[in-house]
Amino acid sequence: MSKVYIGGKLYDKADAKISVFDHGLLYGDGVFEGIRVYSGKVFRLPEHIDRLYDSARAIHLEIPLSREQMAEAVVSTVRANGKKDGYIRLVVTRGAGTLGLDPRKTSDPQVIIIVDDIALYPQELYDNGLEIVTAATIRNHPNAVNPRIKSLNYLNNILAKIEGIRAGCLEALMLNHKGEVAECTGDNVFVVKHGILRTPPTDAGILEGVTRNAVLELARAAGIPAQEMTLTRHDVYTADECFLTGTAAEVIPVVKCDGRPIGNGKPGPVTRQLRERFQQLVRQ
């Protein structure tokens, strides 16, 4: 039976509950992180904790634990669940309050840590590649809700995800308010052209992915030139290779976008190399 951490205590899954008056439920008012456990070790925990606290600060949410206490809570919850390989969902809500938006009327922000399994894509898609479509729903404007905030309000991504599913795809490409490539609904996007790796910069209106940053480091260490630069759909359509990165997805090839084959329609050598290097990194 899995154990869920809520506010300093561990509860059985069936008993893990918070108030229906929590503003996390009522308004999506809160922040979260998805983190991986590999061979019993939490992958890049400090980066995830930093991003969580940055997200919280951006929405004026005071987390009731220090970063060190939060890291310890994550590690001890993983230990309590005996998970060697798994997925952590770390959530901080605004806390229970009255009906109405005013966050001053809430108290007791809830820290929730769930340790479970996740499988986004079947193995054959890692071997043969994924097909994506461009969603009509654009990424949140940075002056509305900045995409760098990993908030509990994921409707922007969910609406685009529904478009992808309706088109028979498991992922959808999202553009920003300028019509440039931002990211997919749950993953960052990379293209390869003439051996150069390219991915949109953070100011394109994207979440700065922990896996994205790890892959950029791996590329540089392997001598693969890597650039963060503005991309358009034209760059995706004419790329030699394309792949997505994310905590749950890791590194997954994309072989078709909007019905157009990318490169030769098969996962490319740079994608394969970076996927292998990523697997080595997490198994170290």
Active centre residues (catalytic): 150
User: CA 186, 191, 196 angle in degrees (round to 5)?
Assistant: 140
Give dist(CA 77, CA 233) in Å, integer: 42
Burial of 10 (0-12, 13-18, 19+ CB in 10 A): middle
227 near 196, Cβ under 8 Å? yes
> What is each CA distance from 248 to 123, 214, 216, 252, 266, in whole angstroms?
13, 14, 17, 10, 22
Identify the H or E element spanning 71.
Answer: helix 67-81
52 near 65, Cβ under 8 Å? no
Q: Give the tokens for residue 43.
A: 């992958």
DSSP per residue, 179-237: S-EEEESSSEEEEEETTEEEE--GGGT----HHHHHHHHHHHHTT--EEE----HHHHH
Q: How many CB atoms lie within 10 A of CB 270?
A: 21
Q: Give the start-end residues of each E strand in the chain.
A: 3-6, 9-12, 30-38, 41-42, 86-93, 111-116, 130-134, 171-175, 181-184, 188-193, 196-199, 226-228, 241-246, 250-257, 260-261
Q: Give the tokens for residue 185.
A: 């609904």
225 phi, psi to nearest 5 deg: -60, 135
